[in-house]
Structure 1
């Protein structure tokens, strides 16, 4: 898919047909479906892997403005979405296996060394829903993410405890 440069919006959906899940195979499939870097909107639904491939958090996807991740129930870690420079709207629903959001959400190892700047610098809307296992949201002290965040929606996150990110100047 990486040579399909005219695709602007991409929806990737997995059927839920039974409990036989080979998480490595799922990740390999999503790795091979890597879209072209011109992509503007990405919607992932029903992915059954435990982690997303590395390409999803690369800053080279500089045109992505909207990302929706739905019903990826086995997922236990989010990619480095903070490095998507044009991302304006992020919606995450039904990631029941996710227990913690930490530093990996804001920046990857590569960006830590490069000093790529403010994570989520263009994000205006952040929405979390039906995150049944999410217990902790950690924002590293040395980062100051979400400078343009205007809307934060958190619904049905029954075990989440602790504080929100410290500085949300546009909220």
Structure 2
């Protein structure tokens, strides 16, 4: 299992190779470890024959870590949590509005949606004829049709805005 450990501003990659045998990698370097709960918030950690007495306090995800006289703020995230957080950032970064543009010059033969319609990602929106072939333009995102600027049976140039979608 892979983890990302943040201690203060430093981020360390940790991979537990064999938990039962106490084998891990810190930043790609193999280490032997042992981690034991002593009592309350006190733990004993052994890393490559170096012993540490560690006191943990605070709520997840951040903990206050006391090693001797030194106090650090630390957090640990597994690979699943990291992937979930990255996905949440992508969702938050998604644009509020998306325009669907003509990928080529052609003739709009059909408009399959109206303003106010809810659409799913991949749903057909507009049919454009170019070089005697009909092409369905599909929604790149799920959302609601905010405006339809194209009209059926009209010619459009490449890059012309055909409709606008709002996230939702």
Normalized against structure 2, the TM-score is what? 0.17
Q: Which has the higher strand share?
A: 2
Q: Which has the higher helix share?
A: 1
- The structure that has the greater radius of gyration is 2
Normalized against structure 1, the TM-score is what? 0.17
